[in-house]
């Protein structure tokens, strides 16, 4: 009985501490002005092209389902452009001017964002792997590579520039989110420049594409032989 009481108190303490940390991360998020460009309350709000174009940055209400924590933490401390072009702009290059966070703010905001999840993303559905069928769809059957950069043969960057780059997307994106996004795009982005592929690609094809994209990772460099 005593053990049960201690365990219960411990669990309550952990939940309270975790809730406090999330709240603190949310406070930092607002204090740093992140909320001026990114909204964090779901569901998706955009109904028209004007709604989408009015946004200054991507919605983050499902960030914890979309991103990988290590990538997000590293990126908040040292943000590098994900999109070749400025957000919502086809004429201006990405100015690479996203604010940086430092010190404890990085972990606080990363923890806050990773706590923002969507029930539409089911865990454990997608295992990243080399996938010739996914590659075939991505590069040849469908126009994915027309808008998204990826590392082609010998690591050469290929692909279009209007969408987010998918180079090393396997480090950035949760594989299960890629599949959920393909299958239920309107849950996440009701108005977007990317075509809807529901009804054009089968669930199996989408799974193959998700596996293929989730496997976009830097090639391990071979050690030079002496």
Partner 1 sequence: MKNLANNSAKILITAAALALFAFQTAPVSAAETEKVFKFYCAQCHGLTGKGDGPNVTKDFPVSPRNFTNAAEMNKLTDADLKNVIMDGGPSVSKSPMMPPWGKTLTTGQVDGLIKHLRALCQCKGKQG
The binding site for partner 1 (CB under 8 A) comprises: 49-50, 52-53, 84-85, 90-91, 140-143, 146-147, 158, 160-163, 193, 195-200
**Nearest distance from residue 93's CB to partner 1, in Å?**
9
**Nearest distance from residue 204's CB to partner 1, in Å?**
18
**Nearest distance from residue 55's CB to partner 1, in Å?**
13
Length of the chain: 226
> 5 or 91: whose CB is closer to partner 1?
91
* SS3 assignment for the chain: CHHHHHHHHHHHHHHHHHHHHHHHHHHHHHHCCHHHCCCCCCCCCCCCHHHHHHCCCCCCCCHHHHECHHHHHHHHHCCCCCCCECCCCCCCECCCCCCCCCCHHHHHHHHHHHCCCCCCCCCCCCCCCCCHHHHHHHHHHCCHHHHCCEECHHHCEECCCCCCCCCCHHHHECHHHHHHHHHCHHHHCCCCCCCCCECCECHHHHHHHHHHHHCCCCCCCCCCCC
> 117 or 149: whose CB is closer to partner 1?
149
Residues 151, 7: contact at Cβ < 8 Å?
Answer: no
**Nearest distance from residue 219's CB to partner 1, in Å?**
20
> 16 or 198: whose CB is closer to partner 1?
198
**Nearest distance from residue 160's CB to partner 1, in Å?**
3
**Nearest distance from residue 46's CB to partner 1, in Å?**
12
> 52 or 68: whose CB is closer to partner 1?
52
């Amino acid at each position: 009985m005593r053990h049960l009481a201690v365990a219960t108190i411990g669990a309550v303490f952990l939940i309270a501490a975790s809730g406090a940390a999330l709240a603190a991360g949310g406070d930092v998020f607002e204090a740093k002005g992140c909320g001026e460009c990114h909204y964090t309350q779901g569901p998706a709000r955009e109904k028209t092209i004007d709604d989408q174009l009015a946004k200054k940055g991507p919605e983050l209400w499902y960030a914890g389902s979309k991103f990988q924590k290590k990538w997000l933490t590293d990126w908040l401390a040292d943000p590098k452009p994900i999109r070749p072009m400025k957000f919502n702009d086809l004429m201006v290059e990405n100015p690479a001017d996203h604010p940086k966070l430092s010190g404890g703010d990085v972990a606080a905001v990363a923890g806050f964002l990773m706590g923002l999840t969507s029930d539409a993303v089911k865990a454990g559905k997608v295992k990243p792997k080399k996938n010739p069928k996914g590659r075939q769809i991505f590069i040849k059957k469908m126009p994915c590579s027309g808008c998204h950069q990826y590392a082609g043969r010998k690591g050469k960057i290929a692909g279009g520039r209007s969408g987010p780059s998918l180079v090393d997307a396997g480090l950035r994106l949760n594989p299960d989110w890629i599949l959920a996004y393909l299958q239920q795009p309107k849950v996440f982005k009701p108005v977007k420049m990317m075509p809807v592929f529901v009804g054009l690609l089968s669930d199996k094809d989408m799974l193959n594409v998700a596996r293929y994209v989730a496997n976009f990772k830097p090639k391990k460099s071979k050690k030079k032989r002496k």
